[in-house]
Amino acid sequence: MKARPGYFGLFGGRFVPETLVEPLRALTKAYAKARRDPSFNRELAAELRDFVGRPTPLTFARRLSAQLGLKLYLKREDLAHTGAHKINNTVGQALLAKRMKKTRLIAETGAGQHGVATAAAAARYGLSCTVFMGTEDMRRQAPNVDRMRLLGAEVVPVSAGTRTLKDATSEALRVWSATSSDTHYVLGSALGPHPYPTMVGDFQSVIGTEARRQVLAACGRLPWEVVACVGGGSNAIGIFSGFLKDKGVRLTGVEAGGRGIGSGLHAARFSGGRPGVLHGTYTYLLQDKHGQVRNTHSVSAGLDYPAVGPEHAQLRALGRARYVFATDAEAVAALKILCRLEGILPALESAHALAYVLRERRRLRKGSIVLVNLSGRGDKDMPALEPYL
Amino acid sequence: MSLAQALARRRASGRCGFVPFLTAGDPTLAATRGYLEALTRAGADIVELGVPFSDPVADGPVIQAADMRALKAGATLTKVLDLVRSSRGNGLRTPVIVFTYLNPVMSLGLAAFAKRCARSGVDGVLAVDLPAEASGPLSAQLGRNGVELVLLASPTTSDERLRAIGRKSGSIVYYVSREGVTGVRRGLAPRLAARLKRVRALTGKSLIVGFGVSRRAQARALARHADGVVAGSALVAAAASGGKKALAKAAREICGGLAC
């Protein structure tokens, strides 16, 4: 499927300024070497068990299932250390950074979960840490800003452009291009220039590997459909990867529909975008007719990004996965239902995946097994939820 | 005349080439037209015209802000190319390199872009986020239309890649003298002279050198080792604060250091 290294069919690649080419080449080489080294894989597995708390459970959503007429299972990434799947990747990249003799980690963050997970990994492995965050996101995810600082990270506010994840990512790339000799850039999603989409996807594949085994153990068969929210798309690629070869399993990614596609205020790249290059990768991108990147909107900071991971673009082109969207209102409603019926406060991001299941319950086959990746917990969303309470 | 020939001619007249950069459309496209004239009078041998982009990851705060102003004022890639065309009609003879991010070019289409560059009198194209490895398709389209591709090299570029960049670039290579983004800096990078010698040997091309040049002393130090010196942020900042007059003054200040 990957004819050219770093490409997923037509998508992916490494479209970066010259100053970033050599650091990315060095990273690609170091990552390939580490992956071939049994001691790296052993160390990573031990850290995922002892520090992250893997495997995360698979929870049968009993009351919600009864209401929907389905068997709804939740992969509980919200129970991973620091409260989201992001830590799977940051532990992997931090261990790699140590091997590369880097002393400092930098990261971008939107919802703050990747920033917190990077800060936690930096603390555990004795690395210093700087996190770039848009000022708009700092406002709506305030609890995570405090958590990052408590974990010893410096949080650098980014007030350029839309003041969200996109601009934080640009700033992290700029800083990395000047500091790559001692600094590793921990990109948080299956996005960006090669090798990030592949590497982040690999580190997140633990979700799908576990979930497949757990569903088989619980049900004796594979799920009818696997559903995950898609911002950059790392939690989705993580859980999808476990089922890619199971051709009968439907894979569905749910993007942020914001206030609806017609409003223009959304982050549904597959519904409103076309292929282009942002942050080093060729993929579906929300852009105007002149090739300028469009502003996005989502109630969830983690989905509020104008490009989607290139592997998703390929999965869609191949017809292996399909991509839909859920609106802000649908996500908030789904979040509330999960709280009331299952005692779980999901992240607003993950609530988009649930919202799709709630909306499509009649189309989903009665009694079929549906697996939702509950990618994170919602404590961080309390300030954003206030108007809805 | 190739870009390298333009620089060689200037060298023959006793000074290093001067390559000012401007963000097109900041504050308006009409103002940029006047700025082009001012830069030509100040001694520009090649002008680098920046196409504003919403997400300029290679640029520091000065050019980021200029891009945002230009976009707000309505600049687009095609309008920038039209500006070059109309300036040519008004007698602009200085060679022009269009400095752009890849996405607006892809959005227009590589073939349409290359044709339009040629028709507008653009001499070279530098796509800042298009490394040599991925430059084939754009290079082919530009070549078909007689427009040069300008590739970048940096302090971290390996020898193997310098050779490839030399093979794939047009008559010149743009050497980014520092890691990091565009912007004004005080000194020059250490061991720059030796590095430039090596880059020149491995690429086999004329070199324009930029990123961080704002003062006459820096320009003077670079002039001995480069075929052209690029100044960007310092000029963009001058134009933003004092318009055409301030731009001309800043350009003369830097250009004055280029005698050799």
> Phi/psi of residue A261, each to 5°?
-65, -40
Q: Which of B203, B256, B232, B206 is nearest to B2 (CA)?
A: B206
What is residue B106's predicted lDDT score, i.e. its pLDDT?
98
Spatial contact of A323 and A230, defined as CB atoms under 8 Å apart: yes
**3-state SS class at A182:** coil
Return the minimum-mean-pLDDT range out of A361-365, B28-32, B189-193: B189-193
Residue A185, strand partner residues: A106
How many beta-carbon pairs under 8 angstroms link A with B? Answer: 114
Q: How far apart are CA A139 and CA A64, in angstroms?
A: 33
A166 and A134 in a common domain: yes
Q: Hunting for tokens 């290079």 — which residue is that?
A: B139
What is the arithmetic mean of pLDDT over B150-169? 97
Say whether both A103 and A224 belong to one domain.
no
Catalytic residue from among B26, B37, B45, B48: B48
Q: Determine, yes or no, domain membership for B190.
A: yes
Residues A168 and A297 in one domain: no
**Is B100 near chain A, with CB under 8 Å?**
no
Domain region containing A364: 53-83+204-388
pLDDT given at position B217: 85
The per-residue pLDDT for range A41-70, each reduced to its tens digit, is 999 999 999 999 999 999 999 999 999 999
Nearest residue of B to residue A23, measured between CA atoms: B156
Please state the ipTM of this predicted complex.
0.95
- Chain mean pLDDT for chain A: 96
Shared domain for A42 and A63, answered yes or no, is no
What are the chain A neighbours of B176 within 8 Å (beta carbons)?
A: 17-19
Rounded to whole angstroms, the Cα distance separating A289 from B76 reads 10
Gap between the Cα atoms of B134 and A166, Å rounded: 23
The count of C-alpha atoms lying within 13 angstroms of the C-alpha of A381, restricted to the half-sphere facing its C-beta, is 25
Label residue A384 by pLDDT band (50, 70, 90). confident
Name the band, by pLDDT with cuts 50, 70 and 90, for residue A2: very low
Residue B57: give its domain's CATH number. Answer: 3.20.20.70
Helices (H), B90-152: 102-108, 110-120, 136-144
C-alpha B51, offset from chain centre:
11
What is the dihedral sign for C-alpha B237, B242, B243, B245?
negative
> What is the chain B residue with the closest CA to A278?
B103
Mean of the per-residue pLDDT values of chain B: 94
Percent of chain B scoring above 70 in pLDDT = 98
Pick from B29, B53, B54 the residue to mutate for testing the A interface (most A CBs within 10 Å): B54
Last residue of a domain, one of A172, A196, A220: A196
Spatial separation of the C-alpha atoms in residues B122 and B98, rounded to whole Å: 7
DSSP A377: B
Mean pLDDT of the region A290-316: 95
Q: Cis omega before residue B56 (within 30°)?
A: no
pLDDT at A3: 62
**CA dist., res. A381 & res. B213, Å (int):** 45
Q: Which domain holds residue B120?
A: 3-255
pLDDT tens digits for range A118-143: 999 999 999 999 999 999 999 888 88
Task: Give me the residue from A17, A23, A279 closest to B128, CB to CB.
Answer: A17
Catalytic residue among A86, A102, A166, A380: A86
Q: Are residues A249 and A104 in the same domain?
A: no
Q: Which of A148, A147, A193 has the alpha carbon at shortest distance from A170?
A: A193
Average pLDDT over residues B147-168: 97
- pLDDT score recorded for residue A1: 42
Catalytic, B48? Answer yes
Cβ pair A230, A307 in contact under 8 A: no
CA dist A171 and B61 (Å) reads: 10
Least confident residue range of A135-149, A223-237, A243-257, B118-132: A135-149
Residue B186, pLDDT score: 66
- Length of chain B in terms of residues written: 260
In a domain, B8, yes or no: yes
Same domain, A122 and A236: no
Q: What residues of chain A lie within 8 A of the CB of B130, using their CB?
A: 15
Q: Contact at 8 Å (CB) between A268 and A325?
A: yes
CA of A288 vs chain B CAs: smallest distance (Å): 9
**Residue A212 pLDDT > 90, yes or no?**
yes
CB proximity B110 to A under 8 Å: no
Å from A128 to nearest chain B CA? Answer: 20
C-alpha closest to that of B73 among B15, B31, B116, B13: B31
Average confidence (pLDDT) over A79-107: 98
Q: What is the pLDDT of residues B208-251, one digit of tens each?
A: 998 778 888 888 888 989 999 999 999 999 999 999 999 999 99
pTM of the model: 0.96
Same domain assignment for residues A156 and A21: yes
Q: Angle A328-342/A348-359 helices, nearest 10 degrees?
A: 90
**The domain boundary residue, chosen from A196, A222, A257:** A196
Question: Given CB atoms, is B58 within the 8 Å cutoff of chain A?
Answer: yes
Average pLDDT over residues A282-291: 98
Which pLDDT tens digit goes with each residue over A158-207? 998 889 899 999 999 999 999 999 999 999 999 999 999 999 999 999 99
Cβ within 8 Å, pair A285-B176: no
Chain A residues touching residue B76 (CB < 8 angstroms): 290, 292
* Residue A4 domain flag: no
Report yes or no: B179 at the A interface, CB cutoff 8 Å.
yes
- DSSP classification of residue A50: I
CA distance B246 to B233: 13
Confidence of residue A286 (pLDDT cuts 50, 70, 90): very high
